[in-house]
Structure 1
Amino acid sequence: MIPALIQQRACDAIPYSISFSITAGLDPSVGLFVSFTMAVVIAIVADAPR
């Protein structure tokens, strides 16, 4: 159940990042790059509960 919710949040972040980058006057690819980079950094740095 929890992984499905996390995946849904990750899928929701992509359209939001594109729309925020367009609103800020940036290229939509910048929003995609930032969301991907943020996901990778969180996956590396975040610690799983033990």
Structure 2
Amino acid sequence: MPTLVKAKLKISHHIANYNAERRHSALGYRAPNYFETHLQTTPQYRPI
């Protein structure tokens, strides 16, 4: 397998892991994908 193909595959796996599995303290120790989905499905408080 050529080196460029290996690098692209490794990068795509890292991005998938970073967004789907890795917990982030700034997001309440939730994964970014979970946080985004939860944010989109939760009604937001908006003062009038």
TM-score past 0.5 threshold = no
Structure label with greater radius of gyration: 2
RCO (CA 8 Å, sep 6+): is it higher in 1 or 2?
1
Identify the structure with the greater helix proportion: 1
* TM norm structure 1: 0.42
